Structure 1
Amino acid sequence: MTRIEELALYHLPVETADFANDPDPWLARARAQHPWLATSAIGPVLTSYRAIDEIMRMDDALEMPGREIVDIMGARGTGWGDFAQEMMLVRHGADHQRLRSSVSAAFGPGNVKRMRPVMVATISALLDEWAPKGRFDFTEFAANFPVRVMFALIGGDVARLPAIISSLEVQGTSFNMIVEDMPRIEAAYQVLWRFVDDLIAERGPDAGRGDLLDDLIAAQTRGDLTAKELRQMLVFLFGAGYDTSKNLLTLLMDSMIAHPAIWQRCAQDREYCRKVVREQLRLTSPSNTYRVTTRDLTWEGVTIPAGTMLLFPLGISGRDPELFSRPLAFDPDRADRTAPLAFGRGMHICLGQFLAQANVEEATHLIARRLTNPRHDAPPTWRSFCGVWGIKSLPIAFDPAPSPAPDRALEPAGR
């Protein structure tokens, strides 16, 4: 057995803009030096699909680094610091299961299927407003879609969305470990805390709407959630509902500008959009994540000691040439059906994965019908790689198409 500190590993500059803009040359050099490990300023980086897939499943040897991130950010004693150490993603065992079970039914395949008409109506209304413009920053457009679906799931008034959307944007980048951003992260968190606190107060204990907010309030009434956990859960759900789907949709649009034939087919074939979304999840997805080892773990003859912070680059895990032929090619019809790792593995696998995929599937088809011949209006800019990655700004121009007459093509897809 070899301990990781005995290896001569390639150093990945994951904290730099150069890496965020184009990680592939760096990864190629890292894999040439070691098949599945590299180093970074954060800690060891797993660079192979198989290593990420198998090690992330070792729930008994890993935990989410809430305390560690709070210390790096200098956030002890802040509201966001409490959130980072107490939210569902950092809980374990029965405590984690208690929190996850309070919302899991709302994000299961069955309920997501029932939400598809809401997705269709939401994206159609947004397109009626935005498509005639002929050009806009696609990230701004995309920011308005998934969170509106989340508002419908929670039972919130979308008229309040503009007041919190900038705070949701900051919340989405709060785990990218940019220390100088801490004051704005805390300010954004307080805005979101007050927002969900008001939602709960206005709803009261006996509203009877039967939506997710009613379910969460009932869980608090039964003693399954504390008042603080209820509010932290809502902040988490709004942040997740806003950021991941928005970034995935923006990444997909950037890919489609380079593949106009695929985009045209998306407008004609709703089922094909599922393949396109899956291929986008393989090639580039928004989330990268961290774990801290709670014990020594050994994989492929290398021992990683307890207390090691690991970076799992889920967003580019599908570019591993050991598993995927032509890994940088966008090919929705590729024969290899290996599941993307975009939503993670293990007990912390993304709760909202079915909702995110359905959101982007429905949106892709309808956007492709209305925004034809999309092209870059200015070069895209990229977010920091660590944490929630993706495109920060995507100015596009396009040829607007009129809203199609209602027909079966606009009915929500089944599962």
Structure 2
Amino acid sequence: MQTISELDLGHLPIETPEFCTDPSPWIEKARARHPWLATCNLGPVFISYRAIDDVMRMDDSLKMPGGEIVDLMGARGTGWGDFAEEMMLVRSGKDHARLRSSVSAAFGPNNVKRMRPVITGTISALLDEWAPRGAFDFAVFAANFPVRVMFGLIGGDVTKLPGIISSLEVQGSSFNMIVEDMPKIEAAYQVLWRFVDELIAERGPDAGKGDLLDDLIAASTRGELTGKELRQMLVFLFSAGYDTSKNLLTLLMNSMIEYPAIWERCAEDHDYCRKVVREQLRLTSPSNTYRVTTRDIVYRDVLIPKDTMLLFPLGISGRDPEVFSDPLGFDPDRPDRTAPLAFGRGMHICLGQFLAQANVEEGTHLIAQRLRRPRHTAPPTWRSFAGVWGIRSLPIAFDPSPFREAA
């Protein structure tokens, strides 16, 4: 048995723009030195699909980093620091179950199915506004979509959305752990805190809309959530609802520019869009995540000591050639139905995975009808790899089409 520090591992320069743009060459070199482990400036990195799948299920041996990230960012005593250390995502045991149960029904498959008319109505209205332009930054367009769906779920006033989008963008990148960004991260968090505080005050305890916000306020009134937990939960839901779906949709558009025949089929075949979204989740997806070991663990005869920070690059886990044939190709009809790891594993598996997939499935079908023959007008720029990865800017041109799906 060897400890993880004794292994000869390849180093991944995850902090560099070159790695963010195309991590595959470094991952391939790292696999040549070790089949499932590499290193980076934050700690060990799991680079095998099966190793990620196995280890992330060890809930009794892992925790989400909260205090560790707060200390790294120098965020003690800030509102964002409290959020990073106290939000649902970093809780465990009964606390985690209590917080997750307060919102889990709203994000279940049945409720998301009922949300699909809201999703299609939202994207159709945006396309009516944006499609006639013939060119725009697709990442900016996508930023206006999933969070509007979240507003519908919460019952928020979408006229307030423009004022918080920039803060949601900063909040989404906050766990990329760029220390120099801490002042703007805290400022953005305070904007979001004031927004949800006003949302709660405007709603009051007896609004009777019967939406998710009413449910959360009622849970707080019953003492099941503290006032602070209620507000942190809303900040978390808005941030997650904005960032993941927006980034996934932008990544998919970037892929489709390279596969015009697939894009054309998306416009005609709604069911095919599900396959396309699944394949995008396999090839490139937005989220990479961390865990900290709570005790010594042994995996495949390697000892990983307690308190080790581990990076799980979910966004590229589907590029493992041991699991997927032609891993860098895009094939929605590939016969291998191995599930993507994009939404994680274990008790912290993404709460909003069904809503995110529904957003992108419905969005893909309708966008493909209105934005024909998309092409790059400038190279995409990429976000930092650690945390929520994705494309920061995707300038495109296209042939506008007035075609709408028949009722």
**TM-score, reference length from structure 2:** 1.00
C-alpha distance in 1 between matches for 2:245 and 2:260: 22
Q: Which residue of 1 aligns with 2:4?
A: 4
Q: Report the Cα offset of residue 2 of structure 1.
A: 1.3
Amino acid at match of 2:181: D
* Mapped contact 1:282–1:342 kept (Cα < 8 A): yes
Report the Cα offset of residue 16 of structure 1.
1.0
Residue 236 of structure 1 corresponds to which residue in structure 2?
236
Q: 1:411 maps to what in 2?
A: none
Alignment of 1:28-47 (within 5 A): 28-47=28-47
Q: Distance in 2 between matches of 1:5 and 1:191?
A: 42
Equivalence for 1:77: 77
Alignment partners' CA distance in 2, 1:379 and 1:326:
25
Q: What letter is aligned with 2:367? A: I
For the residues of structure 2 that align with 1:29 and 1:297, how far apart are their CA atoms? 26
**Which residue pairs with 2:333 in the alignment?**
333
d(CA) in 2 for partners of 1:397, 1:6: 51
User: After superposition, what is the alpha-carbon deviation per residue over 1:179-234, rounded to whole angstroms, capped at 9, x for unaligned?
Assistant: 00000000000000000000000000000000000000000011100000000000
Residue 274 of structure 2 is matched in structure 1 by 274
Match of 1:283 in 2: 283
Question: 1:300-342 deviations in whole A, cap 9, x for unaligned?
Answer: 1111000000000000000000000000000000000000000
Q: Is the 8 A contact 1:128 1:403 kept in 2?
A: no
Unaligned runs of 5+ in 1: 409-415
- Which aligned runs of 4 or more in structure 1 are off by greater than 6 angstroms? none
* 1:225 alignment counterpart: 225
Could you list the per-position Cα deviations for residues 361-398 of structure 1 after superposition, in whole angstroms to 9, with x for gaps in the alignment? Answer: 00000000000000001100000000000000000000
1:407 aligns with 2:387: no
**Aligned positions, number:** 407
Aligned residue for 1:209? 209
The question of whether the paired residues in 2 share the 8 Å contact of 1:126 and 1:145 is answered with yes
Equivalent-residue separation in structure 1 for 2:145 and 2:9 (angstroms): 42
Q: Which secondary structure state, in structure 1, belongs to the residue aligned with residue 175 of structure 2?
A: coil
Aligned residue for 1:244, secondary structure, equals: helix
Task: Please name the residue that 2:296 is paired with.
Answer: 296
Contact 1:343 1:349 (C-alpha < 8 Å) held by counterparts:
yes
* Aligned-pair CA distance for 1:403: 4.0
Q: Does 1:53 align with 2:53?
A: yes
Q: Distance in 2 between matches of 1:31 and 1:231?
A: 43
SS of structure 2 residue aligned to 1:39? strand
Q: What is the rounded CA distance, in whole Å, between the counterparts of 2:335 and 2:292 in structure 1?
A: 35
In 2, distance between residues paired with 1:251 and 1:5?
A: 35
SS of the equivalent of 1:14 reads coil
Matched, 1:132 2:151: no
Whether the 8 Å contact between 1:293 and 1:307 is mirrored in structure 2 is: yes
State the SS of the aligned residue for 1:113. Answer: helix
Cα distance in 2, alignment partners of residues 350 and 384 from structure 1: 20
* Counterpart check, 1:123 vs 2:113: no
TM-score by length of 1: 0.98
Residue aligning to 1:66: 66
Contact kept, 8 Å, 1:64 with 1:291, in 2: the verdict is yes
Give the CA deviation at 1:407: 1.9
Q: How does 1:39-188 map to 2 (within 5 A)?
A: 39-188=39-188
Does the aligned pair in 2 maintain the 1:287–1:389 contact within 8 Å? Answer: yes
1:175 counterpart SS class: helix
Give, as a single letter, the amino acid of the residue that structure 1 aligns with 2:337.
R
- Does 2:399 correspond to 1:371? no
Which whole-Å CA distance do the structure 1 matches of 2:313 and 2:303 have between them?
20
The answer for the alignment partner of 1:259 in structure 2 is 259
1:343 is aligned to: 343
Counterpart for residue 385 of structure 2 = 385
Q: Does the residue aligned with 2:136 lie in a helix, a strand or coil?
A: strand
CA distance in 1, matches of 2:12, 2:257: 29
CA RMSD of aligned residues (A): 0.5
